[in-house]
Amino acid sequence: MSKGRFIVVEGLDGSGKTTQARRLVSTLQATGHLARFTAEPSGLPIGKLIRQALLDPTQLGEATLPYLFAADRRDHLDREILPALARGEVLVCDRYVGSSLAYQSFSLPLEEVWSLNARFPAPDLTLFIDLPLEDCAARVRARGAALERFEDMDRASALAAAYGLSMATLKARGHKVVAVDGHGGADEVAARVWAEVLRCL
Least Å from the CB of residue 44 to ligand TYD: 13
Q: Which residue is nearest to ligand TYD (CB)?
A: 103
Least Å from the CB of residue 72 to ligand TYD: 8
Least Å from the CB of residue 195 to ligand TYD: 24
Least Å from the CB of residue 99 to ligand TYD: 4
Kindly list the residues in this chain that would bind ligand TYD in the complex (CB under 6 A). 13, 18, 40-41, 54, 69, 94-95, 99-100, 103-104
CA 36 to chain centre: 15
Nearer Cβ to ligand TYD, position 33 or 125? 125
Which residues 6+ apart lie within 8 Å of 7 measured at CB?
24, 90, 91, 92, 93, 123, 124, 125, 126, 127, 197, 200
β-bridge mates for residue 6, sequence order: 91
Nearer Cβ to ligand TYD, position 69 or 150? 69
Q: What single-letter DSSP state applies at residue 4?
A: P
Nearer Cβ to ligand TYD, position 4 or 98? 98
Nearer Cβ to ligand TYD, position 27 or 104? 104
Least Å from the CB of residue 117 to ligand TYD: 8
Least Å from the CB of residue 187 to ligand TYD: 21
DSSP codes joined into one string, 21-51: HHHHHHHHHHTT--EEEEESS-SSHHHHHHH
Neighbour-count burial for 152-161, b at 16+ CB within 10 Å, e otherwise = eeeebeebbe
Per the CB < 8 A criterion, the answer to whether 180 and 127 are in contact is yes
Reduce the DSSP state of residue 10 to 3 states and report it. strand
Nearer Cβ to ligand TYD, position 33 or 65? 65
Which residues 6+ apart lie within 8 Å of 108 measured at CB?
63, 66
Nearer Cβ to ligand TYD, position 50 or 190? 50
